[in-house]
A and B are shown apart, each in its own frame.
Chain A
Amino acid sequence: MGKIISGLWLTVLLALAAPATAQNQQQPPTTPPEEVIELEVGEGVFTTFNVAVPVMPTPQAVDTPAGNTQRLGQQVAEIIVSDLRNSRLFQPRGPGGLPTPSFGEVSSPNYGVWQGVGAQNLVQGYVQANGDGSLTVGCYLYDVGGRTQLTRQGFNVPVAQWRRAAHRCADTIYSRLSGDTGFFDTRIVYVSETGPPNRRIKRLAIMDYDGGNHRFLTNGQWTVLTPRFAPDQRTITFMSYENDRPRVYVLEMGTGRVRPLVPGNYQTFAPRYSPDSRFIVFSMAVNGNTDVYRIPVEGGTPQRLTNAPGIDTGGSYSPDGRQIVFESDRGGSQQIYVMNADGSNQRRISFGGGSYGTPEWSPRGDLIAFTKIGGGFRIGVMTPSGGGERVLTGGPHDEGPTWAPNGRAIMFFRGASRGNLWYVEASGGGTRRVATPLEGSDPSWSPLNPN
């Protein structure tokens, strides 16, 4: 297992590199970003940016293990277009059908050409192989009508991680034009599934948010469930039936080491990290009674947070770490409750009719996503006080929401005994299937990858 994981952990350096011809331009904001955010969260009303993304030229065509830099210049542009299109905030065009700028034009665009194409914004860049096995991808965003550079970044990455440079460029554009942080340079850990429902083979798998760089983390010998990324991305917690002893485990990404989290003989499950990555809340079933506990990531003595008779499970921290949302059937049916992080002040917040499970606090703090139960499963959101409930998906079996790190989108799985990963915007639009090599469930969306 260690072999699969080692080398996975990415170190990407933010380089201030720019073409020799780059001018030291300022970044005057010509588009007020606030306007865009307002429209984006408004129910399905969109202002889209018409963005041209031509092929990124290379100062010198060089063969790398990931292909020639000329070809990479096209692929990077394609990924940027795909990312921007996925967000539905943009109407990206290119790289096909657009003129390819020269290397010299990267930092001084031919605005007349792009005005003629009808682009409001222009993304240019370059791909350059460095002698040391790394690539530098330059990323420039222009306001075509205002003839100004809005932002520029350089990303220095190991050749094998060239896709990350493309995602980070797209995040830069998303952030500059929407005023929000992006979510493209992120990954998904999930459960890859195959086989009939009574002998389902479940493996942990990890991939870029768009399906790139897919790989398996476990071999399928034991059933694994409900992985979660640590916010610092140094560990992943999950549940495994290893040796027929279902327990919460922690996978250390740097070493590939897997260790049980909680001592003792009771079944543990539903692990979730605290925002500072220091604690994991989990559920433990003791003689028919399931409660939520907290334990340091490195192990130790569990601290019990709930003690109502019944099933208390699925704890999820608020982004400030001060509260935990969880589900409980203490009132007779599965409902959502909020408590302080020390277990005090437990109160029910879901009153919309039907039952609710799998609450997940948005990284923005403004919403709680859940699975609504009753006539099938659907994904919905409500505020932390229980107001403003909205159902986002149509079912019939949509379960297990996980938030994009900017709180603008949700991934979940659709399908009862065999399912697939799906994506929906927090506003309820843009529902689409997320491609995976096999069937999948239990997605967990990472924070933005560390720089």
Chain B
Amino acid sequence: MSKTRIIATVALGAALVATSACSSRRPESLPPAPGSEGPGSGIGTDPGGTGVGAIVPGSRADFLQQVPSDRVYFALDSYTLTNEARAVLDSQAQWLNANPAVNVTIEGHADERGTREYNLALGERRANAARLYLESRGISSARMQTISWGKERLESFGSDEASHARNRRAVTVVPE
């Protein structure tokens, strides 16, 4: 009995924190009240976050909807940002400026054509390049952490150039 009450209190507290965080930014678009259209109700929701009606401002789904891409791509063994990459990061910076409470992780990745440890260093270079650019667009360094996966999380498994190109990336990850 008392255990149930504690859990309920904690859940309520978490909900209050979440609600107040959201309401301080965009009070006009609060998420639906729990139970009315929450996950599992089967109406208009998608656990993957693509259901338009369920998008929470400041969430990953919101980020993915508002920016042209969550990732930028690099040339072989390069960490130079292309013009296209800068445009993508500009829009990410815009979103991050509009959602100042959101911290992100920038993941750096490499293709399989480098050795494992070199690629860990290369992935960190790429993540750092994206971080520095976002910083130059006004995003506090304290809001961004970087992690390099090297070639440990390939997204495209082919050995053709197109597959390699999709793996050479820095991904801005917003918490769900």
Interfacial residues, chain A to chain B (CB-CB below 8 A): 196-198, 200, 202, 223, 225-226, 241, 244-246, 267, 269-270, 283, 285, 287-288, 290, 311, 313-314, 327, 329, 334, 357-358, 371, 373, 377, 397, 399-400, 416-417, 441-442
B interface, how many residues as a size bin? Answer: 20 to 34
Contact B152 A225 (CB under 8 A): yes
Partner of A399, one of B116, B121, B154, B159: B116
Contact B118 A311 (CB under 8 A): yes
B120, B132, B146 interface centre (most CB from chain A within 10 Å) = B120
Complex CA gap A244/B173 in Å reads 13
Complex CA gap A346/B61 in Å reads 49
B117 CB-CB contact with A under 8 Å: yes
Contact B125 A311 (CB under 8 A): yes
Complex CA gap A393/B153 in Å reads 27
B128 CB-CB contact with A under 8 Å: yes
Contacts of B117 in A (CB 8 A): 226, 269-270, 283, 313-314, 357-358
Contacts of B118 in A (CB 8 A): 311, 313-314, 327, 329, 334, 357
Q: Which 9 pairs between the two chains have the least Cβ-Cβ distance?
A: A288-B128, A357-B115, A290-B121, A285-B124, A311-B121, A416-B112, A270-B117, A197-B154, A288-B125
Which B residues between 122 and 150 are near A, CB-CB below 8 angstroms? Answer: 122, 124-125, 128-129, 132, 146-148
Contact A267 B115 (CB under 8 A): no
Complex CA gap A245/B120 in Å reads 13
Query: Quick one: closest B residue to A333, CB to CB?
Result: B77
B155 CB-CB contact with A under 8 Å: yes
Contacts of A377 in B (CB 8 A): 115
Complex CA gap A310/B125 in Å reads 9
Partner of B154, one of A287, A327, A417: A417
A194 to chain B, nearest CB (A): 14
Contact A290 B154 (CB under 8 A): no
Contact B153 A267 (CB under 8 A): no
Partner of A223, one of B122, B146, B152: B152
Contact A285 B120 (CB under 8 A): yes
Contacts of B159 in A (CB 8 A): 416
Partner of A288, one of B113, B124, B147: B124
Query: Quick one: closest B residue to A396, CB to CB?
Result: B159
Q: Could you name 10 residue pairs across A and B whose Cβ atoms are closer than 8 Å?
A: A225-B116, A226-B117, A241-B152, A267-B146, A313-B120, A327-B118, A357-B118, A358-B117, A373-B115, A417-B112
Interfacial residues, chain B to chain A (CB-CB below 8 A): 79, 105, 112-118, 120-122, 124-125, 128-129, 132, 146-148, 151-155, 157, 159
Query: Quick one: closest A residue to B118, CB to CB?
Result: A357
Contacts of A200 in B (CB 8 A): 152
Complex CA gap A270/B148 in Å reads 13
Complex CA gap A270/B128 in Å reads 19
B114, B115, B120, B121 interface centre (most CB from chain A within 10 Å) = B121
Contact B122 A311 (CB under 8 A): yes
Contact A198 B112 (CB under 8 A): no
Contacts of A314 in B (CB 8 A): 115, 117-118
Contact B122 A267 (CB under 8 A): no
Sample of 14 further A-B pairs with CB below 8 A, known A197-B154, A226-B117, A244-B105: A198-B153, A198-B157, A202-B152, A225-B116, A267-B147, A269-B117, A285-B120, A329-B118, A357-B118, A358-B115, A371-B115, A373-B113, A399-B115, A400-B116
Complex CA gap A290/B120 in Å reads 10
Query: Quick one: closest B residue to A200, CB to CB?
Result: B152
Contacts of B122 in A (CB 8 A): 311
Contact A198 B154 (CB under 8 A): yes
Contacts of B157 in A (CB 8 A): 196-198, 417
Query: Quick one: closest B residue to A191, CB to CB?
Result: B116
Query: Quick one: closest A residue to B152, CB to CB?
Result: A223
Contact B115 A288 (CB under 8 A): no
Complex CA gap A311/B118 in Å reads 7
Query: Quick one: closest A residue to B141, CB to CB?
Result: A287
Complex CA gap A4/B114 in Å reads 34
A201 to chain B, nearest CB (A): 11
Contacts of A313 in B (CB 8 A): 117-118, 120-121
Known: A269-B117, A311-B122, A311-B125. A288 touches B152 (CB 8 A): no
B171 to chain A, nearest CB (A): 13
Contact B147 A246 (CB under 8 A): yes
Complex CA gap A245/B146 in Å reads 10
Complex CA gap A225/B117 in Å reads 9
Contact A442 B116 (CB under 8 A): yes
Complex CA gap A260/B124 in Å reads 20
Query: Quick one: closest A residue to B107, CB to CB?
Result: A244
Contacts of A400 in B (CB 8 A): 115-116
Known: A283-B121, A288-B79, A288-B124. A244 touches B147 (CB 8 A): yes
Contact B120 A267 (CB under 8 A): yes
Complex CA gap A176/B136 in Å reads 68
Complex CA gap A287/B105 in Å reads 14
A58 to chain B, nearest CB (A): 48
Complex CA gap A371/B116 in Å reads 11
Complex CA gap A400/B116 in Å reads 8
B133 to chain A, nearest CB (A): 12
Contacts of A399 in B (CB 8 A): 115-116
Contacts of A397 in B (CB 8 A): 112
